[in-house]
Amino acid sequence: MPASLLVTIAVNLFLRTSPFTGLPFTSMARRLSRLRQATRPETNSHAAAKPAAVAAIVRNRNHLFLMPDLDASPGWFVPIVRQLAGKLCTRGILFCEVSAAKAVDLSVQIGALRLRNPILAASGTFGYGLEFAHIVNLNRLGGFVTKGLSREPIEGAPPPRLYPTSSGMLNAVGLQNVGVKAFVAEKLPVLRSFDTAVIANVFGYTIEDYVEVIQVLENADGLAGYELNISCPNVKRGGMQFGSDPTQVSEVVGAARKSASKRPLWVKLSPLVTDIGLIARAAGEAGADALTVANTYPAMALDFRTGRSRLGSATGGLSGPAIKPITLRLVWETKKAAGTPIIGLGGVETADDVLEYLSVGASAVQVGTASFTDPKASERLVGALTNVLERAKVFTLNDIKDKFVAENS
């Protein structure tokens, strides 16, 4: 049967069944498939059209018709769909609106590492990733950062470890983790089955701690890179945080860089510095491939009636929407001072938040506190980001990145 006749039959079937309100596309696809089966029985491997992605939206007054991703459809299906949609649109039965869903490119480059999109789940809020695998499609994310890994297991801080605040949250988890060797033996083998970038967060209390953890990870497969948490006290320097002094930053990053020969090295900066640009340059010059800006802000909450902390510890780290304006500025200051790629972290909840971070210089973002209120927040943001860019008719994140203009005129 000629293709034109097949299309004519399909169009007539469509219009006769529902001339004004339309037929859901899945039903239409089924009927087209049956027609195809009847005309060419030998092609029975495609009993039903199962589009992998939506490439266009065809709509009339009351119904939406989802067009399949033609690149993912059987070859015979492509001309049928195109002709059918074209005839319906040109006759004024439907109003056709080509969506940018297929055209929007969310991929980002962070040094040598290319991610499918700029959305990562942040360390300390996403477990080892496995805890969220039954809720979140990890393969849709640009990646995620594991809980901090230390040389030996750490039990962490006493409860309560979390306390909600206005526009944010306090946490005092105490870097609880199973230790790097148990992570490699028990967690990493399962993580290898996911098609997403797994970044291992590493911390220590001496430079030797950082080096040993990375050496263990270097001998294991399944990781895309490392993130150094340098907001830890250096016990050999009187407890001063590694990340607060450019010299110490250079030393710890340089030592980690020598050990991390196989994978990219990200460095997570502390917000508690006088000049974050100075710290960023020190990390970049010592070998950091990217900078995560920034860690949580020390804060506290108490009950005046009892005079006790709301946490099991006296203080904790403040995160969430409350810190976003402050961290946006830190990302901008870091971008001005250093050429190293930046991952923004702090109060990311919406697609607008993501694009604001990119506008001031970040290449990607990490989603943290939002995962506590909505475990699917990171995955949801991938879809939301696509929708926002479609509406803005922006097809690549390069059109947004570094768009911020300091002087309003």
Specify burial of residue 406 (Cβ count, 10 A radius: 0-12, 13-18, 19+): exposed
Rounded CA separation 231/268 (Å): 8
Query: What phi-psi label fits residue 137: left (phi over 0), alpha (psi between -120 and 50 degrees) or beta?
Result: beta
Rounded CA separation 202/333 (Å): 25
Q: Which residues contact 72 (CB under 8 A, 6 or more apart)?
A: 51, 52, 53
Rounded CA separation 233/247 (Å): 14
DSSP string computed for 380-397: HHHHHHHHHHHHTT--BG
Contact (CB, 8 A) for 324 and 273:
no
The residues carrying an active-site annotation are 232
Query: Dihedral of CA 264/348/335/330: which sign?
Result: negative
Q: What share of the chain is helix, strand, coil (3-state, %, to 5)?
A: 40, 20, 40
Strands 168-171 and 162-165: antiparallel
Tokens of 291: 């900078």
Residue 182, amino acid = A
